A = this chain, B = another copy of it.
Amino acid sequence: MTKGIKIVTIGGGSSYTPELVEGFIKRYDELPIRELWLVDIPEGQEKLNIVGALAKRMVEKAGLPIEVHLTLDRRAALKDADFVTTQFRVGLLDARAKDERIPLKYGVIGQETNGPGGLFKGLRTIPVILEICKDIEELCPDAWLINFTNPAGMVTEAVLRYSNIRKVVGLCNVPIGMRMGIAKALDVDASRVQVDFAGLNHMVYGLNVYLDGVSVLPQVVEAMADPSNAMTMKNISGLSWEPDFLRGLGVIPCGYHRYYYKTSEMLAEELEAAETKGTRAEVVKQVEKELFELYKDPNLAIKPPQLEKRGGAYYSDAACNLINSIYNDKRDIQPVNTRNNGAIASIEDDSAVEVNCVITKEGPKPIAVGDLPVAVRGLVQQIKSFERVAAEAAVTGDYNKALLAMTINPLVPTDKIAKEILDEMLEAHKEYLPQFFQPVEA
């Protein structure tokens, strides 16, 4: 890293890239990036060109000596990288739309991370990420792999179990969003609020909340129990919680917990949306289309404010803060997906968890939380079971394991429907799932 940092962004043609570029520009003093390589696949060439041109204009306007490279040659880009960020989407938004629509036909929420949709996103993504890991091992073995690609928990699990890469972090903006939401609910500046996060990706809980170092957990529970106050996120319904359920729970759920604790209502919302405005993927596709129109404007040299509608609030902050803290050994606390190492008692040491970590130059070091409250241990374990079986299916192409993963998912009510959904989705995503359709070599 003598002459500045080399960052490689796989899926560089994503609409999120300007977020990231803005974050890098803002932090240039601390984080002197020399080269930013945006990598994509042939199908993404056009978007890559548009976003890449915008990125170059942004850097130029900022007057910074960051070289922006656009390429379809992943291996060339990876050579000697310091950080590799992954934000690609196998099959693009069309695949996600299928992940959402097919389960709905069977009365089941698609849920693109910890649901049936997430299973298929994992089946498509994991083989690709493991290929990237092999390239990293060969071309930039000291690099950190910062994965944004969902399902981030399952992907991190797969990297830990099925690759040799240990310098991997899975990233999500849910915890930072929760902290911001709590600060807003308490009507205080977010810098005064600390949250003990622990759980899994999109299944993370705030086990305690501190204002200026003093626990305010009961007040936050009460604030969340107030329907007018419910913290939410752009891409998740704002359905309010049963106040007494929250009081019984005694810890802070994340937005995605609605899929599990409010399954009926979420299903109803998604069915209605599918009939009216379209599924989330379909909405996002339209938003992206508009974004790319904006990005094309040769006079645009900043991140357009419309990007915020995309749902990635704090995304750039989460990513850039993580890279910054690793690079500068900042030793601050950030919630990320990493090897458990005993931090959560009832999860295996070698599984991925999402938990507060100290971010050091040596990577994230998880803070031990003992065990999760008994009431949430079951659901967390169930998603971990799902993630592990799904990762195994992704690597082996074993149909029975894929059906097992689908059936044990808490959103799927029966083995029979699980099989119907599985079969239809396997067919729909066939081109991205060679492991299920080609003989695997011994």
Contact = CB atoms under 8 A, between A and B. Distances in A.
Contact of A414 (B264, B401, B415): B264
Interface in A384-442: 384-386, 388-389, 398-405, 407-408, 410, 413-419
A242 B378 contact: no
Given A242-B419, A244-B399, A343-B342, A376 B367 contact: no
A64 B419 CA distance: 58
Q: How large is the interface on A (under 10, 10 to 19, 20 to 34, 35 or more residues)?
A: 35 or more
B261 A414 contact: yes
Contacts of A399: 244
Contacts of A188: none
A210 B342 contact: no
A417 B264 contact: yes
Most buried by B among A341, A368, A369: A368
A213 B415 contact: no
A422 to B, nearest CB: 9
Given A345-B349, A360-B213, A385-B378, A262 B370 contact: no
A112 to B, nearest CB: 20
A382 B378 contact: yes
A33 B170 CA distance: 43
Nearest to A384: B378
Nearest to A267: B413
Contacts of A401: 248
Interface stretch (A85-93, A118-126, A298-306, A327-335): A327-335
B262 A415 contact: yes
A369 B385 contact: no
A353 to B, nearest CB: 10
Interface string A186-197: 000000001000
Contacts of A235: none
Contacts of A402: 248
A212 interface: yes
Contact of A341 (B242, B247, B249, B368): B368
B369 A376 contact: no
A417 B245 CA distance: 11
Contacts of A61: none
A408 B300 CA distance: 50
A383 interface: yes
A164 interface: no
A361 interface: yes
Nearest to A349: B370
A215 B363 CA distance: 12
A358 B360 contact: no
A265 interface: yes
Interface in A148-162: none
B381 A386 contact: no
A366 interface: yes
A206 to B, nearest CB: 13
Contacts of A417: 264
A67 to B, nearest CB: 25
Given A263-B414, A382-B378, A408-B379, A370 B388 contact: no
Contacts of A333: 331, 358
Given A261-B414, A262-B415, 16 more contacts: A242-B407, A242-B418, A244-B399, A264-B416, A343-B368, A349-B370, A356-B365, A358-B358, A365-B368, A374-B385, A375-B404, A376-B408, A378-B379, A378-B383, A378-B384, A379-B408
**A-B pairs, 6 with minimum CB distance:** A213-B361, A378-B382, A248-B404, A248-B400, A378-B385, A381-B381
8 contacts: A194-B362, A215-B362, A248-B407, A264-B416, A365-B367, A378-B381, A378-B386, A381-B381
